[in-house]
Amino acid sequence: MEFIKTDIEGVFIIEPKVFNDARGYFMEAWKQSEFNEKVGRVDFIQDNESKSSFGVLRGLHYQKGNTSQSKLVRVIKGRVLDVAVDIRKSSPTFGKHVMVELSEENKRQFFIPRGFAHGFLVLSEEAIFTYKVDQPYSPKTEAGIRWNDPALGIEWPIDFSKVQTSEKDLNQPFLKDAEVFD
User: Computed from CA positions of residues 142, 165, 177, 116, in that sequence, does the dihedral angle turn out positive or negative?
Assistant: positive
Angle at 110 between CA 157 and CA 9, to 5 degrees: 100
Which amino acid makes up residue 18? V
Whether 61 is catalytic: yes
3-state secondary structure at position 16? coil
- As a whole number of angstroms, the distance between CA 176 and CA 159 comes to 24
Whether 131 is catalytic: yes
Q: Which of 25, 61, 97, 118 is catalytic?
A: 61
Q: Return the percent helix, strand and coil in the chain, to nearest 5.
A: 15, 45, 40
3-state secondary structure at position 36? helix
Q: Which of 62, 97, 118, 131 is catalytic?
A: 131
Number of H helices, E strands in the chain: 2, 13
- As a whole number of angstroms, the distance between CA 88 and CA 148 comes to 19
Q: Which residues are catalytically annotated?
A: 61, 131
